[in-house]
């Protein structure tokens, strides 16, 4: 996702702050207005998930230079996730930025619903849990566990994030994928 925003120049001439061995200079350097990016990230997520309380924190002082990349930390319903922000172009006092999740963000409620749907008639009575968090950030090809229960029967599932869009496949924990590839869940990434 991209957008255009205003850049900020330091209000007072040259600013020089030493912190350990790192020196930050603000002399004439154009910086990203982190508050604008935070507000746009929150608005974008709320547009996709209006029921989810979302907050964002981006670093202050990031340089508004093409290719500059920094990480913003968001909370989605209390669950921490990271987004990468890359300055894509600078036009005088304005800049364009692209954002994407640092890793796919999985909504476990969507995953649970998909598993129940794919179980057919048995799924209507199933309880599916993928842990205590609604949103989890998982690397592509990494796995996480879910449990499907119907009555006294409980089955452990291994979920694999297939791509950066957040598509997830499932298999019974400990089993190799079958010829059909197992159960596949729809895209569940929250990606402004």
The burial class, CB within 10 Å (0-12 / 13-18 / 19+), for 189 is: buried
pLDDT at 180 over 50: no
pLDDT at 9 over 70: no
- What's the DSSP call for residue 91? E
Give yes or no for a contact between 108 and 131, defined as CB atoms under 8 angstroms apart. Answer: yes
- What's the DSSP call for residue 51? T
The structural domains of the chain, with segments of one domain joined by +, span 2-101, 105-185
Collect all residues with Cβ–Cβ distance below 8 Å to 134 and sequence separation of at least 6: 52, 76, 77, 79, 107, 108, 109
Residue range 120-163, pLDDT digits in tens? 766 778 889 999 999 999 999 999 999 988 877 888 888 899 99
CA–CA separation, 164 and 182 (whole Å): 19
Q: Which pTM value belongs to this model?
A: 0.73
Collect all residues with Cβ–Cβ distance below 8 Å to 35 and sequence separation of at least 6: none
Percent of the chain residues past pLDDT 70, beyond the cut: 73
Give yes or no for a contact between 78 and 62, defined as CB atoms under 8 angstroms apart. Answer: no
State residue 118's pLDDT score.
Answer: 80
State residue 153's pLDDT score.
Answer: 82
Cβ-based neighbour number of residue 101 at 10 Å: 18
């Amino acid at each position: 996702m991209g957008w255009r925003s205003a850049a900020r120049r330091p209000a007072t001439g040259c600013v020089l702050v030493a912190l350990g061995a790192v020196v930050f200079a603000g002399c004439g350097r154009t910086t990203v207005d982190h508050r604008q990016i935070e507000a746009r990230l929150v608005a974008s997520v709320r547009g996709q998930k209006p029921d989810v309380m979302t907050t964002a924190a981006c670093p202050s002082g990031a340089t508004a230079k093409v290719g500059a990349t920094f990480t913003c930390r968001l909370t989605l319903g209390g669950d921490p996730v990271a987004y990468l922000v890359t300055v894509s172009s600078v036009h005088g006092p304005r800049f364009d930025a692209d954002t994407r999740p640092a890793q796919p963000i999985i909504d476990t409620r969507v995953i649970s619903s998909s598993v129940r749907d794919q179980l057919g008639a048995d799924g209507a009575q199933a309880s599916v849990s993928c842990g205590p968090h609604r949103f989890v950030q998982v690397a592509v090809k990494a796995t996480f566990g879910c449990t499907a229960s119907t009555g006294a029967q409980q089955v452990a599932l291994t979920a694999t994030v297939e791509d950066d869009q957040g598509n997830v496949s499932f298999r019974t924990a400990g089993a190799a994928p079958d010829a059909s590839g197992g159960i596949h869940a729809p895209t569940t990434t929250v990606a402004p």
